[in-house]
Amino acid sequence: MAKADRNLGLGRLYAKALLDLAEEKGQADELLEELTALSGYLASHPELEELFGSPLVEKEARGRTIEKIFRGNASDLLVDALQVIHRKGRLGSLRAITEACRQELRDRRGMVDAQVRTAVPLTADLRAKLTASLARFTGRKPTLFEKVDPSLIGGIVVEVAGTKIDTSVASRLRGLGAALERRASEEIHRGAAAHISESRDR
């Protein structure tokens, strides 16, 4: 099993346990916010992340460091969570645990990520229609992450929770794809017309 897969599996185990405790205290959002901020800081300071996960640092010393740095500056829930992760020797997987927490919390709340690639930017109307369509297909509330890809030459590519939309679902999105193709064609024609007009004025 690849290291990334192992980290993801471990992340999910810790995420479920941490969120169970956080939800009991009504602090799930706060915990995720703090974990996200800490993970972002570690991502920009790899030397600190390496120190967190290094087997060369004694456990007791690392535990005291966590208390000194975070206790009083972050929620007790976060500090206690870090200590648990530390005692299990998994601080080096903190970013994977944080991402797993984000996904687990969204899953518990009936939400899902949808990666959307289109040849031209979505209009507000098409975005609303796509969101409604994906909500019906998945039974969840989708959050769209949009990316414009001119190489598509119109149409739409959708990936939900890491899985590309299958042909049965894609066929139901045909109307949206056709609308995007028309919009892309209109933009191309407008651009060509503007270019011709500029050439004549010279």
State pLDDT tens for residues 144-183. Answer: 999 998 887 656 888 987 778 754 455 555 555 555 555 5
Please give the tally of structural domains in the chain.
2
The per-type count for the chain, helices as H runs and strands as E runs, is 9, 4
> Does 197 lie in the same domain as 120?
yes
pLDDT per residue over 66-104, tens digit each? 999 899 999 999 999 999 999 988 888 898 999 999 999
> Does 89 lie in the same domain as 117?
no
pLDDT of 111 > 90? The answer is: yes
Greater model confidence, 96 or 196: 96
Supply the mean pLDDT for the chain: 80
> Does 143 lie in the same domain as 91?
no
Domain boundary among 85, 107, 129: 107
> Does 189 lie in the same domain as 118?
yes
- Domain interval for residue 191: 112-201
> Does 93 lie in the same domain as 139?
no
List of residues 6+ apart from 41 with CB closer than 8 A: 48
> Does 72 lie in the same domain as 148?
no
